[in-house]
C-alpha cells in the first residue's frame, strides 16, 4: 500500500492562512478531499495522513470530520495546546477517536529557539506516550540542536521529523544540518519524512540533482525502516506538481530492494502512525 504521510486540507481564509504569501498565491484557495482523491488516482496513492495547518482545536476536529467522510484519509495529525494545564483531559478526549494518530506544533514559527525545552511543553509531550500518540517535529535547521536534546529526553516517544527539517536548499545550507540530522538519527525512536524539499529550494529553478545529497544524508542516517514518503500537497504546488514530488523519491529509491521501496512508500507510515 502506498501512503502519503504528509498533506494538508484547508478552506482558505486570508487571516488564518496569512503565511501563504504572494509568491505562493497559487495555493490561495480551498483544498479538500475531492481535489486530492483525483490526484491520488492519477499517481497511484492508496491513502494519506492529513496534517494540521492551523493551531486550533477546530482544525483538529475539521480533519477528524474529513477523515470520517473519506476512507482514503487513514489518519490525522492534529493540534492541541501541549502547554495547557488540562492537557491530559484533552488527550483522553481525542484518544477516543482512532483516526487521530498524533499531534504537531508549528515550532518553526516560534521565536524562542529552545521552545521545545520549555517545561510546560515538555509536560505535554510526556503525556503522549500513555495514549500512543505520535509527535511530528516541524523545525528549521537552526533549531536542530534543541531537537537533539529534546528527543533524548523521551526515548519511548514516537517522533518524526517533517520535511527533513527544512534545510535551506536554495541557499546551499548543508553541513550544519547534515551533522545534526546524523546525530538525531541515533535515537531509534525518531523517524524522518522525505517531503517538503522543493519548496526549500528555488521554486522555479530547483533540480532533482541538487536534492540528491540531502536525500543521501537522511537515508544513510535513518535507514529505509525509518523514512516516510510525504508530498506536502498542496504546498508543493508552489514549486511543482504531485508527480514530480513523488518521482524525486521513487527515482532515488529505485536502486533499493522492492521490500525497502515498499517500506519507504507506505509500510513505514502504517507502522509509525498505526494506520
In order of their start, the domains of the chain are: 3-273 (3.20.20.140)
As a whole number, mean pLDDT of residues 113-142 equals: 97
**Average pLDDT of span 210-214:** 97
Would the CA dihedral through 91, 93, 98, 104 be positive or negative?
negative
Closest CA to 49 of 155, 185, 242, 193: 193
Mean pLDDT along residues 250-271: 98
Q: Among 10-19, 53-62, 223-232, 256-265, which stretch is predicted with the lowest mean pLDDT? A: 10-19
The three three-digit cell numbers of residue 78, written as one number? 492534529
63-88 confidence digits (pLDDT tens): 999 999 999 999 999 999 999 999 99
**Does the model's pTM come out above 0.95?**
yes
**Percentage with pLDDT > 90 across the chain:** 99
Strands ordered across the beta sheet of 100-105: 3-7, 47-51, 73-78, 100-105, 134-137, 159-161, 190-194, 227-229
Q: Does residue 46 surpass a pLDDT of 90?
A: yes
**How does residue 173 score in pLDDT terms, banded at 50, 70 and 90?**
confident
For the chain, give the mean pLDDT. Answer: 97
Q: What is the mean pLDDT of residues 164-187?
A: 96
Q: Which residues are bridge partners to 159 per DSSP? A: 135, 190
Element (H, E) at 261: helix 258-262
Question: According to the model, what pLDDT value does residue 227 have?
Answer: 98
Summarised one tens digit per residue, pLDDT across range 131-171 is 999 999 999 999 999 999 999 999 999 999 999 999 999 99
Say what the pLDDT of residue 145 is.
Answer: 97
Is it the case that residue 172 has pLDDT exceeding 90? no
User: Measured between alpha carbons, how far is residue 184 from residues 148, 160, 179 in Å?
Assistant: 5, 11, 9
What are the residues whose beta carbons fall under 8 Å from the beta carbon of 201, sequence distance 6 or more?
A: 169, 170, 210, 211, 239
Residue whose C-alpha cell is 518524526:
160
Task: Identify the pLDDT of residue 198.
Answer: 98
Q: What is the pLDDT of residue 170?
A: 95
Amino acid at each position: 500500500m502506498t501512503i502519503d504521510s504528509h498533506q494538508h486540507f484547508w478552506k482558505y481564509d486570508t487571516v488564518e492562512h496569512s503565511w501563504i504569501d504572494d509568491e505562493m498565491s497559487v495555493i490561495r484557495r480551498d483544498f479538500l478531499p475531492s481535489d486530492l482523491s483525483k490526484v491520488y488516482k492519477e499517481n497511484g496513492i492508496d491513502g494519506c495522513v492529513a496534517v494540521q495547518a492551523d493551531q486550533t482545536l477546530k482544525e483538529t476536529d475539521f480533519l477528524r470530520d474529513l477523515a470520517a467522510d473519506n476512507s482514503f484519509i487513514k489518519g490525522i495529525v492534529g493540534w492541541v495546546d501541549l502547554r495547557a494545564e488540562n492537557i491530559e483531559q484533552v488527550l483522553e478526549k481525542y484518544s477516543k477517536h482512532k483516526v487521530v494518530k498524533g499531534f504537531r506544533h508549528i515550532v518553526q514559527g516560534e521565536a524562542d529557539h529552545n521552545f521545545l525545552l520549555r517545561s510546560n511543553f515538555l509536560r505535554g509531550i510526556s503525556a503522549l506516550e500513555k495514549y500512543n500518540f505520535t509527535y511530528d517535529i516541524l523545525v528549521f535547521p537552526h533549531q536542530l540542536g534543541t531537537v537533539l536534546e529534546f528527543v533524548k529526553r523521551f526515548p519511548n516517544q514516537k517522533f518524526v521529523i517533517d520535511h527533513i527539517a527544512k534545510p535551506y536548499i536554495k541557499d546551499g545550507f548543508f553541513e550544519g544540518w547534515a551533522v545534526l540530522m546524523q546525530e538525531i538519527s541515533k535515537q531509534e525512536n525518531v523517524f524522518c519524512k522525505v517531503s517538503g524539499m522543493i519548496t526549500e529550494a528555488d521554486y522555479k529553478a530547483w533540480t532533482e540533482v541538487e536534492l540528491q545529497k540531502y536525500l543521501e544524508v537522511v537515508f544513510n542516517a535513518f535507514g529505509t525502516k525509518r523514512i516516510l514518503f510525504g508530498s506536502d500537497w498542496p504546498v508543493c504546488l508552489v514549486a511543482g506538481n504531485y508527480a514530480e514530488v513523488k518521482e524525486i523519491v521513487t527515482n532515488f529509491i529505485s536502486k533499493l530492494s522492492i521490500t525497502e521501496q515498499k517500506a519507504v512508500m507506505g509500510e513505514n507510515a502504517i507502522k509509525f502512525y498505526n494506520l
